[in-house]
A and B are shown apart, each in its own frame.
Chain A
Amino acid sequence: MRSRSAATFLLGAGLKNVYNMEGGIRAWKGMVAQGLPEAGMAYFSPAANAEEIVGLAWALEEGSKFFYQGIAEHFSEDKEAHKMFNWLVSAEKSHEKHLLETYEALTGTKPDFEKMRAKFSDSLSGTVMEGGIAVKEALAWIQGKGVSESLELAIAMEVNAFDLYIKMSRAIEDKQAQQIFEKLSEEEQVHLEKLAGLLDKRV
């Protein structure tokens, strides 16, 4: 098995505390992200500063918000699903607020909103959501689909966002920006738990 050979090699190279995960991805029962390593990361430059990241994360959150609004409307008949997706809309809103507070706490200044909007809104805002998926395509896809399929898409989107934020927290050079990504990944995890909870009930 490759991972075993790799672990042996790493131990030989002098690393301590190396563990081979038995069974690989097939044994993994947790969340699975999709896409190549660079997926989504192209939006963020490793040299980006906290302000740029907040702006971009903001634009992506806005896309997610529109996506959840669209799904909530689509399932207006299904009370439980409607409530759930509306909760996610408000979660994305408070996420935006949180980004702002994080930014202020880290830098001691308020971000220049107008500048951020001007920079990102034309190219991105509301068209692409977290995980790098186009909102329009995603909303077109859910037409005629059931709640559980929409939940699966939402989960896939959130897992990819979670994956992206973890990787960015490692790749980014700016210490403050690193902390923003760590916070974002923690919050994505909360969204995921919510979504997964409803999916469990529906399947």
Chain B
Amino acid sequence: MGVLDYFKSVPTMSAEEARRFLAEKDPDEYNLVDVRQPAEYERGHIPGANLIPMAELKDRLHEIDPEKPTIVN
């Protein structure tokens, strides 16, 4: 990943949009990935979120189903 990649636009969802999205869908219709550290996750996370700390993302890509929409927080 190059430095310029950080300037590309990334689609976003507001917390409210995400809340509505998650309420409407079944858990098997999306990926919900939490990229924070375990201690942060332990203190509080969105129900059903899969904890994949940023540093592990590359090695754990297989846990994210590419066929489904993915929400990252």
Contacts and interface: CB of A to CB of B under 8 A. Distances in A.
Partners in one complex: yes
A34 B44 contact: yes
B51 A37 contact: yes
Contacts of A6: 33, 35, 54, 57, 72
Contacts of B42: 34-36
B18 A21 contact: yes
B11 A18 contact: yes
A21 B12 contact: yes
Interface residues of B, number: 45
B66 A16 contact: yes
Q: Please tell me the size bucket of the interface on A.
A: 35 or more
A84 B49 CA distance: 29
Contacts of B41: 36-37
B28 A32 contact: no
B54 A15 contact: no
* Best-buried of B40, B45, B49, B50 by chain A (most CB within 10 Å): B45
Contact of A20 (B13, B36, B66): B13
Interface stretch (A48-56, A135-143, A162-170, A194-202): A162-170
Nearest to A12: B1
Main secondary structure of the interface of B (DSSP, over half): mixed
Nearest to B44: A32
Given A21-B18, A33-B47, A10 B12 contact: no
A28 B71 contact: no
B5 A29 contact: no
A3 B57 contact: no
Contacts of B36: 2, 24-25
B18 A19 contact: yes
Interface in A98-127: none
Interface in B1-31: 1, 5-6, 8, 10-16, 18-19, 22, 26-28
24 contacts: A2-B35, A5-B6, A7-B10, A8-B10, A10-B70, A12-B1, A12-B5, A13-B61, A15-B66, A15-B70, A18-B69, A20-B12, A20-B72, A20-B73, A24-B36, A25-B36, A29-B15, A33-B49, A37-B41, A162-B47, A169-B28, A170-B28, A182-B28, A185-B48
Q: Which 10 A-B pairs have the closest CB atoms?
A: A166-B48, A27-B15, A17-B69, A21-B73, A163-B47, A32-B44, A6-B35, A19-B13, A166-B27, A30-B19
